[in-house]
């Protein structure tokens, strides 16, 4: 069978690139230990009121660590906060330097969860508990936004976390 010289070169180039991608995939898993994000646990979204998510909110775990339990539903995050912003969304407050463990689940459809300018990002599936931890080293107000399109009110689905100076004065 005759294969044109250029076609052969392209075939070789394609095979080389595919080989490179495959090697990168295998080495990321075996050498660098990269894993797909796994849910922290599973939960029945119909009976959330019988779980820890019946009482969402922030727990002070001591030593600058906070656990926050949040329920996502169309179209708000319920972080159990008494403080609301001007649009009625929950506001969380932590002192600067805190490490926050976010635990999330969804009561209805798939939602997203991303903390502005921090490495915390969860895809929130109904029936799954997602977990993401991040440290807040900078004073300021950061939005936490749903980043999975979840319907008509998706763009309004957010909460805020206010990182306050360690001395307790206003941010």
Nearer to ligand CUA, 78 or 135 (CB): 78
Nearer to ligand CUA, 80 or 126 (CB): 126
Cβ 157 to ligand CUA shortest distance, Å: 4
Rg (CA), the chain: 22
For binding to ligand CUA (CB under 6 A), which residues are involved?
A: 72, 75, 111, 146, 148-150, 154, 157
Cβ 68 to ligand CUA shortest distance, Å: 17
Nearer to ligand CUA, 148 or 164 (CB): 148
State how far Cα 25 lies from the chain centre: 23
Half-sphere exposure of 134 (CA within 13 A, CB side): 20
Nearer to ligand CUA, 100 or 144 (CB): 144
Contacts of 130 (CB under 8 A, 6+ apart): 37, 39, 40, 102, 103, 104, 105, 113, 122, 123, 124
Task: Return the structure tokens found at 35.
Answer: 């894993």
Cβ 72 to ligand CUA shortest distance, Å: 6
Cβ 127 to ligand CUA shortest distance, Å: 16
Cα→Cα distances 18→22, 69, 101, Å = 6, 43, 38
């Amino acid at each position: 069978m005759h294969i044109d010289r250029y076609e052969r070169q392209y075939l070789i180039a394609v095979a080389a690139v595919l080989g490179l991608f495959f090697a990168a995939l295998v080495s990321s898993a075996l050498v660098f230990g990269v894993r797909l994000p796994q849910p922290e646990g599973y939960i029945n979204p119909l009976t959330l009121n019988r779980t820890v998510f019946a009482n969402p909110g922030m727990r002070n775990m001591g030593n600058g660590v906070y656990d926050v339990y949040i329920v996502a539903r169309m179209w708000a995050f319920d972080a159990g906060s008494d403080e609301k912003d001007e649009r009625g969304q929950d506001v969380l407050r932590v002192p600067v330097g805190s490490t926050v463990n976010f635990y999330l689940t969804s009561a209805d459809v798939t939602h997203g969860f991303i903390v502005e300018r921090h490495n915390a990002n969860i895809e929130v599936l109904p029936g799954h508990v997602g977990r993401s931890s991040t440290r807040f080293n900078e004073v300021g107000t950061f939005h936490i936004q749903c980043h999975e399109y979840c319907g008509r009110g998706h763009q309004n689905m957010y909460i805020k976390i206010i990182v306050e100076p360690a001395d307790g004065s206003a941010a």
